[in-house]
Structure 1
Amino acid sequence: MPPTPQPVKSLAPEPGPSISRRIALALCAVVTHLSAHSASAAASGPLDERAILADRFGADAPWYAGNIPLFEASDRTIEEVYYYRWKVFRAHQRDLGPDGYITTEFLDDVSWQRQPFASLNDATAFHIHEGRWLRDRRYVHDYIDFMYDGGGNDRHFSEPIAAAVYDNFLVDLDRPAALRHLDAMKHVYRLWDDHFDFDKGLYWIEPLADATEYTIASIDASGGKDGFTGGQAFRPSINGYMYANARAIARLSALAGDEKDAGMFDARADALRGRVVDSLWNDKLGHFVDRYKVDNAFVHYWGPIRGRELVGYLPWTFELAPDDATRAAAWAHLLSPAELGGKAGPRTVEPSYPNYLRQFRYDWQTGLRECQWNGPSWPFQTTQALTGLANLLHDYHQSVVGRADYLRLLHQYAALHFQDGRLDLEEDYDPDTGRPIVGLPRSHHYNHSGFADLIITGLAGLHPRADDVLEVDPLVPADPPGAAYFALQDAPYHGHLVTIVFDATGARYHRGPGLFLYADGRLLAHADRLSHLTAHLPSRPAAPIIRRLDLAMNLVGDDYPRPSASTNNDPASLHQSLDGRVWFFSDVANGWTTAGSTAVENWFAVDFGRPTAISAAELYFGGDARAFAAPGAYRIEVLRNGRWVEPRQVSYSPAVENGATNLQWVQTVASAIRVVMKSAPGRAVRLVEFKVF
């Protein structure tokens, strides 16, 4: 631990800028940072990046600048949720220091996560599909490395991660990165043979391990008494995942020049597809359903479950389902209010099921309801169903559902994110009222689904592919137009920045009516109305990934780098300021605070445990309207030869709240570093994260 500080010189400037002055300085800094990106944005699309990001993200706008695709639509609900979901994605990035970034599912720790990383593999495919649209490719590629090199894909749950890796390749065409883990993908795939019935040619799983506890299979296998465990079944989900993974491994093997393995995995995918279509399609229900693996007094081996579930659409999510009218008719169930089509969101199970929405399980600490998938609307499966519907509309021939249905369901899904006018995505919802069912402390801003990818590949219709063709087919009806306008600006694709603009009348963007397709500001194609467009677009090398190492990150809490502070030395809150997590949601506390301190000055220190070369820091201060604000003044000090001193030539930026405060200095070697802060009048300081480089 660093020594107790001696009296320090007064913080400069005195008495410190006013809160209004600090806000003005912070916004000025944001605008200055964004100005570097404005020229490219103006050239490639109609949207003002600086104005949009400052409005949506405030002081944290620099993280999003030159990183996320911009989006605007005449449907303001969808547009607002699009930016909220990027905020959720950002909040769930965890910097593991030398192990890179991963994406978490919960903001708070849960008992079933992979310790000490807080990772879970069931939502990883969603995270990859969302993150592939960031221009900073580090977040996805570090995460994939963790999944296969760092043991993150521990088979805790069934998953389509290999398929998501290939889908990421279709966006950035980084061949070496896509092939880096091919051997590990094959190894993990073969491990799932322990869940393969060689006689039936299908995979089976317990619903809990499929991330879908309390479904029809597990509830009925218990005789209606429970359903948290048990109910092993041959399910459309795990078989869809394994089909998609086999197909992706075959394509990656071909990319690597391994025709033998490419042929073998294609053959496995073909065989599995045939068995799913032959065995899991239920003529009576007109739907893909589970068949039981378990045999007991209540259910019998190979018998089908007795109702329809939303999971039955997964064969379309991975384009496993055949293109025929018989199977396509299953989508009518999603449109029916009496079946899977809830008023507020798709149901996971139809209301005709006798145990529909029956609550079996409660949280032992709070007594509140726990997650069950016997009817609630669940963003996880809603994302899968909407992806399957997008595939149906893009690649199949049918007349059961149309583009207006996709747009309506996407709007319905977006509306679920709002509670009393406030954006907060939770675990599950009543499909008729749209109110959260679970509502546990862990549930806020839950990252177990996708949304941005549904906008980019669905509504805007950008269709990733491996060749030099840029293909766009927006899922918006043309007659009459299902949207007055929309714009997707600067989506990274094959080394380019792609912009898609639709304006029904030409009044919004003043480019004339119709659909416009740009790459790097150059018009490639135009149609007078919504239509399917293609254009030749030779690929460029993927942008290099720059990795900056946070030297202050502490993963486990009881090792170096070690935190200490002048007040509130609770180990848990101290560790939160070094745990690699940055978010600014005021309803989920994060970080160490000076709350309750009467001292004029407070400090937070990091002991590296050894002399360390350092030259920069990022300070993340959380703020709200009542209790917390960025410090009125601050300075940085390093411990050298037992004394705290200010590094040479420190370049300070104004302290901002809910964003990054950046500072740098001439590189120095020190064993510890601290930030000394003076609180703004009437407010405490919340230090969300302290990063050192």
Structure 2
Amino acid sequence: MASSRLGLQLAVALWATTALTSSPALAASPKLDAHAIATARFGNDAPWYEGNIPLFESSDPKLDEIYYYRWSVYRAHQRDLGPLGYITTEFLDDVGWQREPYASLNDATGFHIQEGRWLRDRRYAGDYIDFMYEGGGNDRHFAEYIADATYARFLVDGDQDAATRHLAVMKHIYALWDDRYDFDKKLYWIEPLLDATEYTISSIDASGGKDGFRGGDGFRPSINSYMYANARAISRLSTLTGDQAAAADYAARAEALKVEVQKSLWSQDFAHFIDRYKVSNEHVKYWEPIRGRELVGYVPWAFGLPDDTPAFAQAWKHAIDPDELAGPAGLRTVEPSYEHYMRQYRYIKETGEPECQWNGPIWPFQTTQVLTGLANLLNDYDQDVVTRADYARMLAQYTELHFKDGKPNLEENYDPATGKAIVGLDRSHHYNHSGYVDLVISGLVGLRPRADDVLEVNPLAPGDPTDPHFLKYFSLQDAPYHGRLVGITWDADGSRYGRQGLVVTVDGQEVAASPTLKKLTAPLARKPAAPIVRPINQAVNLVLSDFPRGAASAGGDAKTVHQALDGRVWFFPEMANGWSPGLDKKGASAKQPWFAVDFGKPVSVRSAELSFFADDKAFAGPSRYRLEAWRDGKWVEVAKAPAPLANGVDRTTWTPVTTSKLRAVIDLAPGKDMRLIEMKVF
């Protein structure tokens, strides 16, 4: 979609929103125009978002832009595995360390679930959790807190059956982590690389400062907080099933870990949670503490582990100190006082480009954890070290990182001095290794998920109009919660929505209000979670040599043909995805190219979804196409698409037929190539 067209649509949407919300009749429950906003933000792909994501607007246009951008990142990373359902990927395309053939990785799964829990279509988070526990997705490749994230989803949708059905596997996986448990120290340990954080203080120092990609096994605040959270989640889920023995067992495990983390991983010298070495060699010794502060020391607060004491609260001073962890552009992963701070060890051999390290660069992964922990601190602890202003400032810094050359494109890690990407490789575009939407909804706006029948709202937006990150207004609309739709609106002076103050609504009806930004609660009678509809895509090919198989009339190299059936749909221009027939030598469009799927057996089919890419340059959506089924030894037309969409999903239906093959015969736009991103068949 041309940028000028997108800008015009966005302007129209914002005008429409303002016009609607300025009406006094709507003052108590301002209504954002879902269709206009979705169309402006997402163009032809708007149907995926409309009626699915919570709407949001504020007086900060960058905050708004990245809120919606992060939903587009989430959507782009939904991979359809056919009968196995949807999973959320970390990288858009394949990487060498993913779980084959699914392209899954489990290190950022917790973020993915916490983002996806805010969708009205519960299939994406639900399928993903099922895959983690039924499909082998939680292979413990990396340290994880997936049981805790599953419980966090339950706090939003209230679906007890979905949350508890995997308890047996959760317990089994919890027990498997005994291979990283020191029974003498009563703590878990892990290699930093397998904590998704290579080149930390422990791994660099364990190498004598020579490297740090591997090694440096340590008792880390991260894995022990994850295991604490998983044990607590298993306990709470067991309570839901009436298994009091298991609930007591895992509650005791969580409490024991909490005691040991606070006793052994808290450093009085650093006033921070830090690693201790598991490894012992000529450079470091078992149980010695590392020699500096790292951002990972805030992970315990992301799960509410630390006690509410003034001593522990002092750790947060380091997050706002510019000489320590607070960089000019964001949160450093290691302090600049560390000997090997920002020293680049690892490069791509072929190009010399820098690779990932955690010895100082900003990482959205840990920035998300810190902001989650800070939200918990501001909500649940009695302290005066940090304030809502600090939350808003850190969130604004994080928001700014999402822009590359003025456009949203989140990559892997960033220079804390400049905010420029360090690792910006071909694989890095629109990297899904962190959270953001949940930080806005549960943090900034303050919708705090609870297990009981109480709606709690506590915005972390600053209340001081002189604060540089003060929001004159914001509105969250249609956030699904306990089977209801919650709205939260703030208007500092009444000029935006016709009513001054904070207003909370449920299904459009006001339930609480305040003239100032403050914590509000209201009784909330829950309703059953919306049922999940799971149509199965019969055309997915996960293994190249298996059925279903793709074939094409032209331009049919194995990789691109496979991409058109691999269950991935994204419209970002930075990374090509899908099959193109190409132009002839004179630059003319191919004559009715076709793309076919061979199911390998007779199947009943009744609809298809074709996704085409367009960039207003080389690629355009087709003029038309028709779908043909293989019947009695010949191709028979079953449907036509006279005006297909590009950069969206084009859906076609027909009377069900049984066939072993289906193909799309395509008429291209004159002088333009075409890219078929994905063909799904149902």
Q: Secondary structure at the match of 1:400?
A: coil
Pairing 1:504–2:486 present: no
Q: Say if 2:668 is the partner of 1:683.
A: no
Cα distance in 2 for partners of 1:63, 1:663 equals 16
The residue that corresponds to 1:616 in the other structure is 607
CA distance in 1, matches of 2:29, 2:150: 28
Q: Secondary structure at the match of 1:404?
A: helix
Give the TM-score taking structure 1 as reference length: 0.93
3-state DSSP of counterpart to 1:189: helix
* C-alpha contact (below 8 Å) 1:651/1:664 kept by paired residues: no
Once the two structures are superposed, residues 461-520 of structure 1 have per-residue CA deviations (whole angstroms, 9 ceiling, x without a partner) of 00101111000000012233721000110000000010000000010011x100000011
Where in structure 2 are the equivalents of 1:460-499 lying within 5 Å? 460-480=445-465, 482-499=470-487
**Secondary structure at 1:266's aligned position in 2?**
helix
Q: 2:511 — aligned with what?
A: 524
Task: Write the letter of the residue equivalent to 1:523.
Answer: E
- Provide the rounded CA distance (Å) in 2 between the counterparts of 1:366 and 1:422: 25
What corresponds to 1:347 in structure 2? 332
- Other-structure match for 1:276: 261
Give the letter for the 2:476 counterpart: L
What is the letter of the counterpart of residue 544 of structure 1?
Answer: P
User: How far is the alpha carbon of 1:639 from its aligned partner?
Assistant: 1.0
Residue 214 of structure 2 corresponds to residue 229 of structure 1: yes
Supply the distance in 2 between the matched residues of 1:167 and 1:175 (Cα, whole angstroms). 12
Deviates more, 1:478-487 or 1:546-555: 478-487
CA 1:125–1:217: 2 relative to 1, 3 Å: same
For residues 308-347 of structure 1, what are the structure 2 equivalents within 5 Å? 308-347=293-332
User: Which residue pairs with 1:637 in the alignment?
Assistant: 628
Cα offset, 1:366, TM superposition: 2.6
Given residue 591 of structure 2, which amino acid in structure 1 is its aligned partner? V
Structure 1 residue 373: deviation in Å?
0.3
CA–CA distance in structure 2, aligned partners of residues 140 and 568 of structure 1: 36
CA distance in 2, matches of 1:310, 1:559: 45
Which residue does the alignment assign to 2:548?
561
- Stretch moving more, 575-584 or 667-676: 667-676
Would the alpha carbon gap of residues 144 and 390 (structure 1) be closer, same or farther in structure 2, given more than 3 Å must change?
Answer: same
Which amino acid counterpart does residue 564 of structure 2 have in structure 1?
Answer: S
- 1:626 aligns with one of 610, 617, 628: 617
**What pairs up with 1:144-159 in 2 under 5 angstroms?**
144-159=129-144
Which residue of the other structure, out of 669, 677, 680, is the alignment partner of 2:658? 669
Change (3 A) 1:653 1:69: farther
Matched with 1:420 is 405
Secondary structure of the equivalent of 1:627? coil
3-state SS of the aligned residue for 1:607? strand
Q: 2:382 matched to 1:391? A: no
Secondary structure, in 3 states, of the residue corresponding to 1:334? helix
| Distance in 2 between residues matched to 1:532 and 1:655, nearest whole Å | 49
The equivalent of 1:210 in structure 2 is 195
**2:358 alignment partner, SS class:** coil
In the alignment, which residue of structure 1 is the partner of 2:165?
Answer: 180
Superposed displacement of residue 682, structure 1: 2.0
CA distance in 2, matches of 1:150, 1:342: 41
Task: Confirm or deny: 8 A CA contact 1:45 1:490 kept in the other structure.
Answer: no
SS of the equivalent of 2:423 reads: coil
Residue type at the aligned position of 2:644: A
Q: Normalization by structure 2: what TM-score?
A: 0.94
Secondary structure class of the residue paired with 1:437: strand
Query: Offset at 1:222?
Result: 0.3
Q: 1:100 aligns with which of 85, 98, 102?
A: 85
Tell me, yes or no, if structure 1 residue 658 matches structure 2 residue 643.
no
Which range moves more in the overlay, 628-637 or 304-313? 628-637
Task: Classify 1:605/1:86 alpha carbon distance in 2 versus 1 (closer, same or farther; 3 Å).
Answer: same
Question: 1:113 offset after TM fit, Å?
Answer: 0.3
Structure 1 regions of 5+ residues with no counterpart? 1-18, 32-37
**Secondary structure of 1:443 counterpart:** coil
For 2:409 and 2:563, the matched residues in 1 are separated by 22
Cα pair distance change 1:687/1:44, threshold 3 Å: farther
**Is the Cα contact below 8 Å between 2:624 and 2:641 reproduced in 1?**
no
Partner amino acid, structure 1, of 2:635? W
Pairwise CA RMSD:
1.7
Shift of 1:617: 0.6
Contact 1:611 1:669 in 2 (8 A): yes
**Which residue of structure 2 lines up, in the alignment, with residue 604 of structure 1?**
595
| Deviation, structure 1 residue 426 | 0.2
Distance in 2, Cα, partners of 1:670 & 1:71: 45
8 Å CA contact 1:92–1:104 kept in 2: the answer is yes
The Cα of 1:363 is off from its aligned counterpart by 1.5
Of 578, 592, 596, which aligns to 2:579?
Answer: 592
Which ranges of 4 or more aligned residues in structure 1 deviate by more than 3 Å?
42-45, 650-653
> In the alignment, which residue of structure 1 is the partner of 2:285?
300
Q: Show CA shifts across 1:534-554 (max 9, x none).
A: 011111001000001111111
- The residue identity in structure 1 corresponding to 2:86 is Y
Specify the alignment match of 1:646 in structure 2.
Answer: 637
Shift of 1:653: 6.2
Measured against aligned partners, the alpha-carbon deviations of 1:204-254 in whole angstroms (never above 9, x if no partner) come to 111011111100000000000110111011000000000000100000011
Instruction: Give the C-alpha shift of residue 651 in structure 1.
Output: 6.3
The yes-or-no answer on 1:171 pairing with 2:156 is: yes
3-state SS, counterpart of residue 575 of structure 2: coil
**Which residue identity is paired with 2:524?**
L
Unaligned runs of 5+ in 2: 14-19
Distance 1:316 1:258 in 2: 28
Between stretches 371-380 and 653-662, larger displacement belongs to 653-662
SS at match of 1:501: strand
Tell me which amino acid in the other structure corresponds to 2:163: A
Taking the aligned partners of 1:293 and 1:280, their CA distance within structure 2 comes to 12
Offset at residue 610 of structure 1 (A): 1.7
State whether residues 654 and 661 of structure 1, in contact with CA within 8 Å, keep that contact through their aligned partners in structure 2: no
Checking the alignment, whether the CA contact within 8 Å between 1:653 and 1:662 is kept in structure 2 is no
Where does residue 52 of structure 2 map in the other structure? 67
Distance in 2, matches of 1:616 and 1:476, equals 46
How far did residue 440 of structure 1 move? Answer: 1.0
Equivalent-residue separation in structure 2 for 1:577 and 1:183 (angstroms): 37
CA deviations on 1:131-164 (whole Å, 9 max, x unpaired) are: 0000000000100000000010000000010000
Deviation at 1:276, TM superposition (A): 0.5
CA apart distance, 1:44: 5.7
Shift of 1:300: 0.9
Distance 1:594 1:65 in 2: 32
**Alignment partners' CA distance in 2, 1:44 and 1:56:** 23
How far apart are the structure 1 equivalents of 2:43 and 2:601?
Answer: 37
SS state at 1:646 partner: strand
Kindly state the Cα deviation for residue 411 of structure 1 after the two structures are TM-superposed.
0.6
Q: Contact 1:44/1:489 (CA < 8 Å) preserved in 2?
A: no
SS at match of 2:121: coil
- Residue equivalent to 2:532: 545
Q: Distance in 2 between matches of 1:645 and 1:365?
A: 50
Which residue of the partner structure matches residue 124 of structure 1?
A: 109
How far the C-alpha of 1:645 sits from its partner, in A, is 1.3
Deviation at 1:169, TM superposition (A): 0.3
